[in-house]
Structure 1
Amino acid sequence: MRAMTGVWRWRRSPLQRRTDRIEAWLALAAALMIVFGAPWAGWFAGRAAHGALLQTVRLQHQQRHLVWVTVDRLVSRAPLDPDPETSSQRDAHGRVVARWTAANGSPHLGQISTPRPVEPGERFRIWTDFQGRVMPRPMDTSTAGTHAVLAGLGTAAAVGGLIEGGRRLAVGQLMARRYRRWDREWERAGQDWGRADAGS
């Protein structure tokens, strides 16, 4: 971005090349797009993601229900991972065979994970769909907001990176053009330019 200063400092310099001017204007345009365009793109993407996620939150809360389950028997008390240092707290709780009634009134019996250590006959609640299939907890609005913010930040960073990448690509093309021009000028000057016996 140092080339941006060349827009003002070199505006009347006899040493200024056309490619220098183009490079400086490219840097200025890229900086303005990063400062103003990337945040706008991030805000727009975050807002769109937030709307979609809130719709998902509403649907999940409509389709999932908290039901009580009664533990029938324990499947295993042993952790799934035999190493106590790497086994998770959830593994230690194990799985149980439990009974529950779905929101549509149908009875169910199956193996489920427990949120805490339980004994046969104990009750706890799980999320199911209308037919009684066990489902993950529905997303809440704060989680949706966090995901939307992350989507907006990611989009802003990606747009900023694309703009800077485009600027660097354009500057690379300008440099290649500049070097080709220098090569042509050296060819015109000849191999003996500057020698004492060349008459120059």
Structure 2
Amino acid sequence: MRTIVGLWRWRRNPLRRGTDLIEAWIALAAVLLLALATPVAGWFCGRAVDSSLRDTVRLQHEQRHRTTAVVVGRSTEPRFTTYDTESAATQDVGTRVNATWRATDGSAHSGTVSAPLYKPRRGDTFRLWTDDRGKQVQSPMNATGARTHAVLAGFGATVLAAGLVECGRRLIVWRLVQRRYRRLDQAWAAAGPDWGRTGAGS
């Protein structure tokens, strides 16, 4: 609103410079872009990411399968944590155990895997995510996680677009100010030799 009022004041002002009017119009354009274009950019970005992640969720649920593993013995490897790039935070993958399980094709597998058990004992069972070859993998991304990532991407795109608009406005204003200074230096250089002389019009 202040930008619109300022633009109206510069319309018929004897002290108005050409660069003043340009600066006012640039400010108005920036306000309109911030209010209209940047949310649209964020919405399109968020929608594109959401569509891509939905495909990822569907693909992961097709390629990853849950099976039941049986604890054979506790591994000597220590308890550890990993960071899943498809999740929002670090996940505690549990205790390392030696276990056996069957893949979706019925083939038997055994090895050292992470079990969500605090004190695993021989014969305990737990749910395990595997790929088509029976190898343990992270659980597939869920729809809620995908939606969260999409919202964050849209918000980030909005902030980035707003930053670009503001940087563009500041750059243009800086160029206008430099132009004013050059014109002032030229005017001062032309008037300087005659400044204060009698009959020189000063």
TM-score range, shorter chain: 0.7 to 0.9
* Structure-2 change in CA distance of 1:182 and 1:107 (3 Å): same
Q: Deviations over 1:162-199 (max 9, x none)?
A: 01110110111111111010010110011562478977
Unaligned runs of 5+ in 1: 82-87
Separation in 1, partners of 2:164, 2:74? 55
* Structure-2 change in CA distance of 1:40 and 1:89 (3 Å): closer
Q: 1:129 aligns with which of 123, 128, 131?
A: 131
Q: Deviations over 1:55-88 (max 9, x none)?
A: 111100111000101111111386569xxxxxx9
Q: Alignment identity in percent?
A: 50
What's the TM-score, normalizing by structure 2? 0.87
* Structure-2 change in CA distance of 1:33 and 1:127 (3 Å): same
Aligned-CA RMSD value: 2.4
Report the more deviating stretch, 27-36 or 102-111.
Answer: 102-111
Q: 1:150 aligns with which of 142, 149, 152?
A: 152
Alignment of 1:51-200 (within 5 A): 51-76=51-76, 90=92, 93-117=94-118, 118-191=120-193, 193-194=195-196, 200=202
Separation in 2, partners of 1:153, 1:40? 11
Separation in 2, partners of 1:177, 1:142? 53
The runs of at least 4 consecutive aligned structure 1 residues that moved more than 2 Å come to 1-6, 76-81, 88-91, 194-200
Which residue identity does 2:97 align to in structure 1? V
Query: Are the counterparts in 2 of residues 95 and 112 from structure 1 also a CA contact under 8 Å?
Result: yes
What's the TM-score, normalizing by structure 1? 0.88
Unaligned runs of 5+ in 2: 82-89
1:6 deviation in Å? 2.3
Count of residue pairs the alignment pairs up? 193
Separation in 1, partners of 2:148, 2:91? 26
Match of 1:84 in 2: none
